[in-house]
């Protein structure tokens, strides 16, 4: 796609939408950035828009995306409306029937999709923030052959308050967040489970927590690698992890020590640390991202770049640390 691309952001007043607007207005290959209010429906998107990026609630994205695709606009959805893959899984994860179920099978899931698939996609489902942090740790292990289908992943996630969105709620009030750490959507109720389990074919046990942070996300956990350990010929306690990578993702970083949220604040990277506990037969991991960047806006632009054939890091400036 040539320079001068017109991108319309729907939901630009939210936290993720504001990050998108900031990044896209200085993107070297984007010619025009416009905004639209979701309440006005698909007709609010300008007729000459090449892309619509939806930073809207899942119900809104589900209503908007497919009519836009039918109109010839390419869509990148930051909400969860198109991550589940099929109608029943979507209903169980998000609690509402998808109004355009054909969009679920048509959407390309954009965590580590092949650039050719992204280039051909009319609808891209950006991964959720917790899913991004978890998959940044799990996919490299899976690609290296350590994680067998059906392996149990036990993880705890901590997110800043901005992960709940800009709308004020009792849960995000200062008196409930300050000096507190509170679980929410535990068990099977968190909507991001469906995309992690779909991508990696694992069984995820997950406890998310809200912390008194403006932004940031840290996930720690472990995954069963017992089958891989049994297949090794060396002595169990001498086994080391093989080289790990996330092919095609230059913003993925493996660290020798556990990361923290300040190191990735306002940055597009995912930082991951691993430790093999051969006695327990598990790999422990710690994954840190900025929930508004890698967990939303910057990963969306990373997918946009690959879909358009631009350099993968175009418009993503790691040294930008402005509050």
Active site residues: 129
Residue 173: partners with Cβ closer than 8 Å, 6 or more residues away: none
Count of beta carbons in the 10 Å neighbourhood of residue 221: 22
User: How far is C-alpha 238 from the chain's CA centre?
Assistant: 35
Q: Which residues pair with 182 in a beta bridge?
A: 210
Nearest one of 97, 93, 127 to 113, comparing CA atoms: 127
Can you tell me the distance from the alpha carbon of 276 to that of 51, in angstroms, rounded to the nearest whole number?
43
Q: Taking the alpha carbons of 116, 21, 93, 291 in that order, is the dihedral positive or negative?
A: positive
């Amino acid at each position: 796609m040539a320079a001068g691309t017109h991108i319309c952001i729907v939901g630009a007043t939210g936290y993720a939408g504001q990050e998108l607007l900031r990044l896209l207005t200085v993107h070297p290959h984007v010619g025009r950035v416009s905004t639209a209010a979701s309440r006005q429906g698909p007709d609010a998107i300008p007729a000459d828009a090449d892309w619509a990026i939806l930073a809207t609630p899942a119900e809104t994205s589900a209503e908007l995306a497919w009519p836009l695709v039918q109109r010839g606009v390419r869509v990148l959805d930051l909400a969860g409306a198109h991550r589940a893959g099929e109608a029943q899984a979507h209903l169980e994860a998000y609690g509402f029937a998808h109004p355009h179920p054909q969009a679920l099978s048509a959407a390309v899931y954009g965590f580590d999709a092949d650039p050719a698939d992204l280039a051909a996609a009319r609808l891209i489902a950006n991964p959720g923030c917790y899913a991004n942090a978890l998959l940044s740790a799990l996919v490299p292990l899976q690609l290296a052959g350590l994680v067998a289908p059906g392996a149990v992943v036990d993880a705890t996630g901590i997110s800043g308050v901005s992960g709940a969105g800009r709308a004020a709620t009792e849960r995000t009030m200062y008196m409930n967040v300050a000096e507190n750490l509170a679980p929410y959507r535990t068990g099977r109720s968190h909507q991001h489970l469906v995309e992690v389990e779909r991508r990696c074919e694992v069984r995820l046990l997950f406890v998310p927590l809200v912390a008194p942070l403006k932004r940031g996300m840290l996930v720690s956990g472990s995954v069963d690698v017992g089958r891989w350990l049994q297949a090794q010929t060396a002595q169990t306690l001498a086994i080391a992890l093989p080289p790990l990578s996330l092919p095609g993702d230059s913003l993925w970083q493996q660290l020798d020590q556990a990361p923290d949220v300040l190191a990735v604040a306002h940055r597009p990277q995912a930082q991951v640390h691993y430790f093999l506990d051969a006695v327990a037969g598990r790999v422990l991991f710690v994954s840190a991202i900025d929930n508004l960047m890698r967990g939303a806006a910057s990963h969306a632009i990373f997918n946009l770049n690959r879909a358009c054939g631009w350099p993968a890091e175009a418009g993503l400036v790691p040294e930008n640390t402005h509050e």
